[in-house]
Amino acid sequence: MRGGIEVAKRTAIVVGATGFTGQHLVKQLCESEEYVAVTIIARRNITYTHAKLDVKIREFDTLEERDLEIADDLFCCLGTTMKKAKTRENFEKVDLEYPLRIASLAKKRGIPNFHVISAAGSSSKSPFFYSRTKGRMEQELIDLKLPHLSIFRPSLLTGGRTEFRLGERLAEGIFQLINPILVGPFKGLRAIEGKQLAFAMYHFAVHNHKNNVQLYKAIDILGAKPWEVEEEIPVAREELFDWSKRKDIFVEENKPKD
């Protein structure tokens, strides 16, 4: 129940739940009122447990349609780095091939909403391999003509990674200094915490747009806010029993017209 409005119950699948943003997203979905069941598909188990959570250990290379439950939303949080992938081929497998394969299976399974993490500056025509790969992923997902596709393009992601990445740590330090002065048209350049990206994915999944393809840029991700529930203001006892201030409780009988 949000603001007095009954919310339809949803189910979700999360792929990439062991990653930085995926871990936050799984927790967000499980602890939300809107989702009654959350399934993760991963190559290894996670430490987080919850009554709503079901874990399936699978290899993405051999993933089949039957491995996907019927669900309202499939969240794809897969992503790697060149340092971990070591080769461009391995990088493309995680950031391009796997998302496309999973999206295709989701379409066949009848899952209506596919949500995926891309990156700011993604373009299939980019001179940079990382941005070009992300751009290709976006375009090929669009070409699949999914019922509803949400693409999230965050800027630099920050906030408590277990894996040490020197370049990103240095960038985080710089953005901590300049984030406060990035206002107005420059707000979209701010660094984004992984937890905020996870919340935005959940938030926009629940408040689904009608477009077949929806692109969320950094400024949209930063702008996602929790529901504001209006608190009931207690009425003082002396006012509660001051009948002169509570005329609304009396019903005046209809008087016959002359």
| 4 falls within a domain | no
Average pLDDT score over residue span 4-30: 88
Q: For 69-79, write each residue's pLDDT tens digit.
A: 999 999 999 99
For the ranges 83-97, 98-112, 190-204, the lowest mean pLDDT is seen at 190-204
Predicted pLDDT of residue 155: 86
- For 151-162, what is the mean pLDDT? 76
pLDDT tens for 197-210 read 999 999 999 987 77
Does 41 fall in a domain?
yes
The answer to the question of residue 258 being in a domain is no
| Token pair recorded at residue 204 | 């926009």
pLDDT 10s digits, 161-200: 445 444 444 444 443 444 444 444 444 446 788 899 999 9
**Rounded to whole angstroms, what are the CA distances from 24 to 48, 58, 205?**
10, 21, 15
Least confident of 80-84, 145-149, 202-206: 80-84
Residue 172: give the domain boundaries: 10-249
Query: How many whole angstroms separate alpha carbon 165 and alpha carbon 173?
Result: 12
Residue 125, SS3 per DSSP = coil
Residue 120 lies in a domain: yes
The number of distinct structural domains making up the chain is 1
User: How many residues comprise the chain?
Assistant: 258
Region of residue 160 (left: phi > 0; alpha: psi -120 to 50; beta: else): left
pLDDT of 156: 80
Give, in order, the Cα–Cα distances in Å from 126 to each of 120, 123, 131, 172: 12, 5, 6, 24
| Assigned domain for 183 exists | yes
CA angle, 93 then 216 then 87, to 5°:
20
- 49 is a domain residue: yes
Examine residue 3 and state whether it is found in any structural domain, yes or no: no
* CA atoms of 211 and 214, how far apart (whole Å): 6
CATH code of the domain in which 171 resides: 3.40.50.720
Mean pLDDT, to the nearest integer, of 136-144?
A: 98
Is residue 243 assigned to a domain?
Answer: yes
- Where does the pLDDT of residue 253 fall: very low under 50, low under 70, confident under 90, or very high at 90 and above? low
pTM for this predicted structure: 0.78
